[in-house]
Amino acid sequence: MGIFSKKPPPGPLPTLTVHLHTPADKVFKPNDTVSGYVTLVTPIPINPQAVEISFWGMSRVWLRTSSSNSTSKSTDYTHYRDNAPLFDICFNALANQQPQPQGQQDQKNDNPQNPPSHQQPNPLLLPNQTYTYPFSFRVPEGTGFNRTGYYKTDTDPRFTILPHNLPPTML
């Protein structure tokens, strides 16, 4: 029963809030550390198998170029629009482990003090209690995404389809 379902959700839903340790207008660069915590308050008792937290960076570009010729009184417009993934980090807050880039969560865990989440009992979260889950991750240096086949012509020099370094600043 997702957002677009016609059926109402099966009961009241928990409230999740993300808090960053940096000012809201902070611009993050590659290799910067993003840290903070997520709070969860549930109106009913729940016994979650996981509290997955995902962070992603996306580039949204909309560029319009125009040229005008005063003798012909015409204007040519070219529009470029793109939504490109930059990074995707996902981790289970209940496992109390450091976040890893998505796709690397299945690596072997050699730390007996911090067993994988499937070996830990699921906690019962009580109503109207605030549960806090700290997080910290590093902004990657590059995208790690291959967008071959995404564009009409992959060889078009306007598009970077292979993994590449991130720009020096990201908003």
Collect contacts of 113-120 with beta carbons under 8 A, ≥24 apart: 117/50, 117/92, 120/94, 120/95
Tens of pLDDT along the chain (171 residues) come to 555 677 776 778 899 999 999 998 888 888 899 999 999 999 999 888 888 888 887 776 666 667 666 676 666 666 666 677 777 888 888 876 433 333 333 444 444 444 444 445 667 889 999 999 888 888 888 887 787 887 778 788 877 788 878 776 544
Short-list 89, 99, 98, CA closest to 58: 89
Counted domains in the chain: 1
Quick check: is 101 in a domain? yes
Quick check: is 80 in a domain? no
The sign one gets for the Cα dihedral 141, 87, 115, 51 is positive
Is 160:146 a contact under the CB 8 Å cutoff?
no
Quick check: is 24 in a domain? yes
Quick check: is 21 in a domain? yes
Q: Which domain holds residue 101?
A: 15-57+89-138
The Cα–Cα gap between 69 and 76 comes to 9
What kind and span of H or E run contains 37? strand 33-41
Strands 74-92 and 52-69: antiparallel
Short-list 22, 53, 51, CA closest to 36: 22
The Cα–Cα gap between 141 and 148 comes to 20
Quick check: is 6 in a domain? no
